[in-house]
Chain A
């Protein structure tokens, strides 16, 4: 009888998640989410990257409760039992969506019936750096699914209310071009994860964070040093506010730009097929959010059918890359 067990464990988690240090409401994409966090320690890691979207709106569209073992009596037995819950919860047509962080230190689970999610981590200091930079990433994707939004693995860069989605595999240059964009005064929606609507052809910034290697921060973006919020291993996390760059909540997408491999003496931006753009955009987007993969693949397919698609070969000259994207946005 897995069904009642699922519900019992969900209820048990929900009871533990009642411990509240803070309760805030944030605009997230085209929806609002109420987030309750059980301890100051947890809030310290999970709130900064989204606090720019805090709102006074009432009647949130979905809710998230974040808690950790230290502030509750959440039992180890229940944690172990959750394995079964999550395995069953993977089905896209089930009531629950769930994902586990590497090593089992964190868990995200979402109840579609209640439009509510739970983020659990064993201890606040174990919140991994990537979850500090993009907190509640899967929960956001699951909550926004009902609003027609999908999480894309891409940078999104704006001029006014227009934006380009820049996509490509990790290491291809998304973050570098995003930080170059910020340094030259452009609007910032994302360097890594952004919500997109295929129907509205819009990008929605969720997190005010960016990630870059400490060496590149020092050598190429030292004027952003003061935005550094720590990091882990190979990546420093930066947190932007309006004194650094404009942080629009959303922008109309003018193009999906796939970053090509290699470097040229001067940047090249040429139209490409929707297939090329989808190959660059979809796989790493959909593989990182379980439970909605089919739907996300379909929506991203729809997006590249509707929005112009280009391929960009970056130059070794950072400023030239940024200038070319800026010109493109102004002309389109």
Chain B
């Protein structure tokens, strides 16, 4: 697994509010909420900390969960590996340790992109209303 990651903009975006992350993937229409551990991890990665650096500062019991979480975020298209680590903001917050990082996945708006009267055009041309 790569070592450094960033939020996969512009396909996805993240907001961290009072230590809790909300993410959205604009192409799939899925949106997400991370628990505090997951939000911490996302926040630290987006500040430029590498996964290896973060794992060094975590309890050994958390490291497998963290790797699994990053794998999930990557497979959902929310994180992308970045070749050059760049420490954007050095502030390091303590690990909140509210259990393994988890991600709430919301899929109720996926159809909005297919059915809503206004949406992006698809690569194959004029969009059509989805069939029944």
Please give the residue numbers on chain A whose beta carbons come within 8 Å of chain B beta carbons, in ascending order. Answer: 83, 86-87, 90, 92, 98-104, 108, 128, 130-131, 137-138, 169, 273-275, 278-279, 282-284, 286-290, 293-294, 297-298, 301, 304-305
Contact = CB atoms under 8 A, between A and B. Distances in A.
Interface SS of A by simple majority: helix
Which of A87, A130, A293 is packed against the most chain B CB atoms within 10 Å?
A293
Contacts, number: 110
Contact of A273 (B17, B29, B108, B117): B17
Interface of B: 9-10, 13, 15, 17-18, 20-22, 24, 26, 29, 31, 33, 106, 108-109, 112-113, 115-121, 123, 125-129
The 3 A-B residue pairs with the shortest CB-CB distance, nearest first, are A301-B15, A104-B126, A274-B17
A278 B118 CA distance: 22
Nearest to A86: B121
B109 A287 contact: yes
B46 to A, nearest CB: 14
A286 B125 CA distance: 22
Given A86-B121, A99-B118, A298-B15, A283 B24 contact: yes
B118 A138 contact: yes
A102 B15 contact: no
Contacts of A293: 10, 13, 24, 26
A90 B17 CA distance: 28
B117 A304 contact: no
B10 A90 contact: no
B13 A169 contact: no
Contacts of A288: 112, 116, 118-119
Contacts of A102: 115-119, 127-129
Contacts of B119: 99-100, 102, 287-288, 290
